[in-house]
Amino acid sequence: MQKKRDQFLALIARRSAIMGILNVTPDSFSDGGKFQAHDAAMAQARKLAAEGADIIDVGAESTRPGHVPVAVGEELARLKPVLADIVRATPVPVSIDTSKAAVARAAIADGVAVINDVWGLQRDPEMADVVAAGGAAAVVMHNRDGVDPGLDILSDMRRFFDHSLALAEKAGIPRAHLILDPGIGFGKTKEQNVIALRGLDQLRDYGLPLLVGVSRKSLFAPILGAGVDERLIGTIAANVIAATRGAAIFRVHDVAEHVAAFKVFDAIVGNPGAP
């Protein structure tokens, strides 16, 4: 696990990295129900790796707007048949998309290299300690319980990240193991999502890699008038723009298309997202 963790952290200092999404859920907004079965999940993991994903992000609880939270036992039950096999079968690192410390602990035991916490180590009081003890890297994502249209979202993100980083330091997570995510689509209006993307460069003074997850999200609906399965070009455009503002990691459903786009981007622009 530590070898793959370190390889991934070294990679994102050199070039843009693509994180492929693999949801083993019945209700994710884009691919819910497609990969719950063991064979389907394994086939998709191998496909993402073959298409060039640098890391595969496995999630067993939907975090889409209006989602129904699941208990720890249910989340673990969805992961148990597939997670360890995915880690063994794919040559690239695996991350787990969870905000529960018990799930993170089990995933680290299965060989997961990165904990992708949509609550930035703040929802479960044991999460930072679990990450530290397990030696995993962590994605710290900005989130809010509710939407406040009058909020200065960039200032709120900084307050949130400052608190998360303090929790990480107290637990003993090395700063070099941390990645920040502005949380596009989480606790924000559509206008605030755009502001967060536009203001990514204001987070670069943290000296940490930035991850962006905009794949197929509803922020494209009013811009493109497109359904979930018709947002690929918009997603690539947003991710390329995010890269110019310092993003280094891109969490996407469509891996092959993003790998091609970022080969061109990195050849021309280089890697502005290197911390």
Q: What are phi and psi of 96, to 5 degrees?
A: -120, 130
How is the chain split into domains, by residue range?
2-269
Q: What is the pLDDT of residue 63?
A: 77
* Residue 117 token pair: 């916490």
Mark residue 99 as left, alpha or beta (left: phi above 0; alpha: psi -120 to 50; beta: remaining).
alpha
What integer is the mean pLDDT of 75-81?
Answer: 94
User: Are 212 and 247 contacting, i.e. CB atoms less than 8 angstroms apart?
Assistant: yes
What integer is the mean pLDDT of 202-220?
Answer: 94
Active-site entry in 217, 231, 245, 263: 217
Q: How confident is the model over 83-137, as pLDDT tens digits? A: 999 999 999 999 999 999 999 999 999 999 999 999 999 999 999 999 999 999 9
Angle between helices 255-269 and 232-244 (to 10 degrees): 30
What integer is the mean pLDDT of 30-55?
Answer: 87
Q: What is the pLDDT of residue 66?
A: 61
Kindly report the CATH number that applies to the domain delimited by 2-269. Answer: 3.20.20.20
Residue 217 known to be catalytic: yes
Q: What is the pLDDT of residue 270?
A: 80
pLDDT of 32 higher than 80: no
What integer is the mean pLDDT of 10-36?
Answer: 81
pLDDT of 172 higher than 60: yes
- Mean pLDDT computed over every residue of the chain: 93
pLDDT of 36 higher than 80: no
Question: Which segment of 26-30, 159-163, 228-232, 257-261 scores lowest on mean pLDDT?
Answer: 26-30
pLDDT of 205 higher than 80: yes
